[in-house]
Every structure is written in structure tokens, then in C-alpha cells.
Amino acid sequence: MRTTTVLLTAALLGCATAAIAEEPGTRELAPGLYLVTGLGDAGSVAFLATPEGVLVVDSGENEGHGNLILDQVRKHSPAPVRYLVFTHLHSDHTLGAPAFPESTLAVGQRGLAAAMEKDLAWQLEAYPPHIEKIRAEVERKRAAGDPGVAKEEARLARNLAAFEEVKKVRLRLPQIEVDGTVSIPSLASVPRCSSGETTS
């Protein structure tokens, strides 16, 4: 794969404005570098296609997005998806990762794996009391005949649905965590790490 840094790819992606498209598609930003469109409110996703392999930056907010991204990659390259780079821990950048092949090497900054696990644990812990608080407000407004109860009921339904989705989350953690800038040839030789470990 050409000597292109992960940092450069992420920077090019950051300079592009994500397009919200009716249908999934791509926009070429530079030769071989594509922005994936049609992901709605999910974070921006791009991929770099080379004859030796493909590097994808971020994975969308669910496995459906991950599959959509892979479909777009296949339209431009038959090469294997060798790397998936996470820019940060937010769910709209990481939760599509389980859709990627097992052979794809997930890469992130130092401490990202621990941060992803901590964030998911926090959500699983924080949702129940938050939902109970909303439920109590629904009951209070219902008992008082408050016309605002319908809005609160809708809020409760949204939070219940969101909590169910959080409970289904499967994390795919970075196998390599790095500091600073790394080139693709050197990245290939960096040892993989287990959860909680990092490499530099």
C-alpha cells in the first residue's frame, strides 16, 4: 500500500463536508480517496483504495452502515480492506465496525479501546435511572391532566428504544493503538494489542 499516513487520510476527510444523500454513494476527493455519502446523520466516512489494499476511515453508526460502506468500497476496488481507522470513540464512527471482515485490522489512537469500553459501560449504567426519571415525569403530568404528557411520553419511548439499541451493541475494539503519525508500511509491522494494551 502506498506510503500514506493515517493522519493525512483523516485530515483530508476532515476537510470534506459530508453530503447527506438520498441514496448511498461516493464522492472522489482525490485519486483513490472517496467520501461515502448517504449515511444520514452518521459521522463522515472515507476510504483510500490502492492496488495493495483499502484503508477505511470510520465505520458509521451501526452494522448496516458498515455493510453499506463495504458495498461502496467494492464498487471502486476489488482489493481487500486491510485497515479500519477510528478517528474517535463516538458511536457514529465506531459501531459499524463489526460488519468488517475479521482480516481487517482496526486501528485507533492510544487509549481508544479502553475509552470505548468505558463509554458503553457508562451508557448501560446511565440509561435506567434516566428512563425512570422520565417515567416519573410522565406519571406526574398524566395525574395532573397536563397536556404536555404526550410530549413526555414520546421522550420516554425514544429513550426506551435507544436503551434497547445500546444493549445490542457489539464493540469491535482497535487491535493496534498508536501515538502521533504512522505510515502504512510501518503500521503493518506493529504488533497487535489486546484490550487495555497499547502500542506506540
Q: What percent of the chain has pLDDT over 70?
A: 81
194 pLDDT above the threshold of 70: no
Of the ranges 7-16, 23-32, 125-134, the best mean pLDDT one: 125-134
Model confidence at 35, pLDDT cuts 50, 70, 90, reads very high
Beta-sheet pairing, 81-85 with 53-57: parallel
**What per-residue confidence (pLDDT) applies to 1?**
52
Q: What percent of the chain has pLDDT over 90?
A: 67
**CB 7, CB 178: distance < 8 Å:** no
Burial of 32 (0-12, 13-18, 19+ CB in 10 A): middle
**9 vs 186, which has greater pLDDT?**
186
Task: Using alpha carbons, list the distances in angstroms from residue 52 to 2, 78, 109, 174.
Answer: 8, 10, 24, 21
Model confidence at 189, pLDDT cuts 50, 70, 90, reads low
Window from 24-28, 60-64, 179-183 with minimum mean pLDDT:
179-183
**What per-residue confidence (pLDDT) applies to 187?**
55
Write out the three cell numbers for 7: 493522519
**CB 65, CB 96: distance < 8 Å:** yes
